[in-house]
Amino acid sequence: MNNPTICAIATAPGGAIGIIRISGSEALTIADRIFRPVGSNAPLADRKPYTLAFGNIVNAENEVVDEVLVSIFHAPHSYTGENSVEISCHGSAYILQQVMFLLTQNGCIPAGPGEFTQRAFLNGKMDLSQAEAVADLISATNKATHDMALSQLKGHFSNELSDLRAHLLKLTSLLELELDFSDHEELEFADRSELYTLACDIHQRLASLARSFEVGNALKNGIPVAIVGKTNVGKSTLLNHLLHEEKAIVSDVHGTTRDFIEDTTIINGIQFRFVDTAGIRTTDDVVENIGIERTYQKLQEAKIVLWLIDQQPTEAEIEDIKERVADKKLIIVRNKIDKSTAHSKFNIQHSTFTTVDISAKYGINIPVLEQLIVEAADIPQLSESDIVITSARHYSALLLADESLQRVIDSMNLGLSGDLLAEDLRIVIDHLAEITGEERITPQETLQNIFTHFCIGK
């Protein structure tokens, strides 16, 4: 690839150390123009890869800009697959900008967003799903999202797709071979019972990958938790305790929260997205009623609902909440245990509800509530080798691939011809290729697979 050599500041501002990355065929040559090593005067291109060189960055007047360490990478053994240099200097914004200016003066161009990883993809250092995992790894906010991104970056998901693709390509090749011998109608290279078994197995694997998206999406974006209840039961106070900051206004005035307030926090390594909603009550206030409608909307979006009460709810209220959270995890939070009102005077008997007594004002039993929230999230214990889908793009492609594979299974049940089966199998492979960024299957690839695995007339 004839790409220009690019450079960019790779570290966030404000640190003690700053790193500038250079990548491209001229990376070592351009770095040599502004770098004066201490000791050996050997050009960077002549030095061993994966080594460091100490020296100074100098400007056109031969004035020292900074003392630096230069890391050397030779193509193709670098992140981008190109010649690469990393200049580690002091983190001063002035120094970093001066080094960037000198590099651009000597032939580099500033890199665009994600261009280093884009070049890694284009140069075959990673596939598209791994490239996307780089962004997920950078933005990881907890152990779960870190582990999922690292697993994908290491290629576990890619390897699974590659294995599925190889099996599908073999089946397609056998069916294509039958079409080449269409004059012999009795000839079948693809054993239909074996084909059916394999198709069902791949269908199960695709469905399992697609199902993991619910967990992956929740962990990546935060598990939504709605805090609902009447006005003045302590919802905003509880939110502040769960977030460990004064996020919501707390007041004795009814209807203070007129819109939802949303923020995230980490509990036991899992990210939760808490929503404090407007208090539910009958009111003539138009704005407050809009807030109450949004409360019901957020309740529908939540996976977990905290129903905060401070007195015995009516049967109508119990039936209403049961209907609204039928497909969700409900935790009934009985607040204000610090007051004299005995909670034993009101109770809700229901086997599927979890109940906890707290004092949002004084933080009593908040850790107990947090543990109940973690249990309600029902997140499986993940290991590094587990494949969990976090991208909506991947999820959509898997669903489309599985839909096409289901057509293959249905076609075999109906005894349809091999050309229809082959076409649907091609569509499955194409949808999987969209995930990794591979080229769609070509007739040449099918032929190559045929001649690699089968010997016809030698």
Would you state the pLDDT for residue 182? 54
Tell me the pLDDT tens digit for each residue of 257-266: 444 578 888 8
User: What is the residue whose two structure tokens read 């078994």?
Assistant: 197
pLDDT (tens, 9 = 90+) of the chain, 458 residues, equals: 468 999 999 998 889 999 999 999 999 999 999 999 998 889 999 999 999 999 999 999 999 999 999 999 999 999 999 999 999 999 999 999 999 999 999 999 999 999 999 999 999 999 989 999 998 888 888 788 888 889 999 999 999 999 998 888 887 877 776 665 555 555 555 567 888 888 899 999 999 999 999 888 888 888 989 888 887 788 888 988 888 876 544 444 444 444 457 888 888 888 898 887 765 544 445 444 555 566 667 677 888 999 998 888 888 888 888 887 888 899 999 998 877 554 444 556 555 678 899 998 888 999 999 999 999 988 877 777 789 999 999 999 999 999 999 999 998 888 887 778 888 888 999 999 989 887 665 555 544 544 444 443 34
- Taking the whole predicted model, whether its pTM rises above 0.85 is answered as no
The tokens of 110 are what? 């500033």
Ordered DSSP codes for 302-320: -SEEEEEESSPPPHHHHHH
User: Is residue 343 within 8 Å of 337, Cβ to Cβ?
Assistant: yes
pLDDT for the residue 55:
96
Q: Cα torsion for 391, 397, 403, 408, to the nearest 10°?
A: -130
Q: What is the pLDDT of residue 254?
A: 44
Q: What distance lies between CA 2 and its chain's CA centroid? A: 32
Question: Is residue 422 within 8 Å of residue 179, measured between CB atoms?
Answer: yes
β-bridge mates for residue 356, sequence order: 333
Sign of CA dihedral 197, 396, 273, 231: negative
Indicate the DSSP class of residue 135: H
Tokens encoding 430? 């194409």
Residue 260 pLDDT: 59
- Tokens 């206030």, residue located: 285
CA proximity to 129, closest of 87, 157, 105, 160: 157
Query: Do 86 and 70 touch, CB atoms closer than 8 A?
Result: yes
Q: What is the pLDDT of residue 65?
A: 97
pLDDT for 174 = 72
Chain centroid, CA 89 distance in Å: 32
Q: How far apart are CA 327 and CA 323, in angstroms?
A: 9
Name the residue among 205, 232, 143 with its Cα closest to residue 387: 205
